[in-house]
Amino acid sequence: MADDRRTHRSHVSYIDKSRGYYGAQGYPQAYQWAYHQEVPFAALEKPLAESRIGLVTTSFFERKVAVAGGGTKEPYAARCDDALGGLYNKDLFWDKDNTHTDDLDTYLPINRLREFAARGRIGSLADRFYGVPTDYSHRRTSRRDAPQILEFARQDELDAVVLVPL
């Protein structure tokens, strides 16, 4: 096969893969992924070098055990300094056979953004970062989690947000 030709797209479709994977486990109903035709867009209102940037992760400080009727995870805000030792994410959906998450900056680039702040590329990285559950329920994400993250962002007077789903 020529290296510059393919019969399928090269990047992984997780929507296709997960449908096949859970279907093979006998779950007849495929997960309904979020889909939107319209996409909102907000422009940066001040120069990046004067902007306070926030970070959002899907990792948590510790394992949270699910209970009947829903998870125990709720959105949170915490000090970036407290995350430098790493966060817990073994319960999340990622490729544990091919990589690891022992290096915080591979999924929550606090140190890299502080370096950009030190160089003047951004105004600052906020003192707090935020965590949001990867919830099966779109409703909980949209009606509970997203407004909470917005409230945190307003409290911290953020100008822009970098979201890094694992």
Partner 1 sequence: MSLVARHLEEAGLPTVVVGSARDIVEECGVSRFVFSDFPLGNPAGKPGDVEMQTTVTGMALDLLERAWQPRTTTQTPFVWDAESNDGWRQHFMKVDDSNRTALASAGDQRRAAQANAKADGAGRG
Assess 116 for contact with partner 1 (CB under 8 A): yes
d(CA 74, CA 68): 15
Please report how close the Cβ of residue 45 comes to partner 1 at its closest, in angstroms.
8
Q: Which is nearer to partner 1, 99 or 127 (CB)?
A: 99
CB atoms within 10 A of CB 38: 5
d(CA 89, CA 18): 19
Q: Which of 61, 76, 91, 160 lies at the binding interface for partner 1 (CB under 8 A)?
A: 160
Q: How many residues does the chain have?
A: 166
Whether 125 contacts 114, CB under 8 Å: yes
Determine which helix (DSSP H) or strand (DSSP E) holds 16, and give its type and residue range: helix 14-24
- Interactions with partner 1, residue window 46-85 (CB under 8 A): 48, 51, 53, 56, 58, 65-69
- How many residues touch partner 1 (CB under 8 A)? 80
Assess 136 for contact with partner 1 (CB under 8 A): no
Q: Which of 2, 7, 12, 29 lies at the binding interface for partner 1 (CB under 8 A)?
A: 12
- Interactions with partner 1, residue window 25-44 (CB under 8 A): 25-27, 33-44
Strand partners, 67: 70
Please report how close the Cβ of residue 126 comes to partner 1 at its closest, in angstroms.
12
Q: Which of 50, 106, 118, 127 lies at the binding interface for partner 1 (CB under 8 A)?
A: 106
Detail the DSSP E strand segments found in the chain.
52-57, 76-79, 124-125, 128-131, 160-164
Please report how close the Cβ of residue 96 comes to partner 1 at its closest, in angstroms.
7
Please report how close the Cβ of residue 4 comes to partner 1 at its closest, in angstroms.
14
Which amino acid appears at position 130 of this protein?
Y
Assess 142 for contact with partner 1 (CB under 8 A): yes
Whether 69 contacts 128, CB under 8 Å: no
Please report how close the Cβ of residue 82 comes to partner 1 at its closest, in angstroms.
19
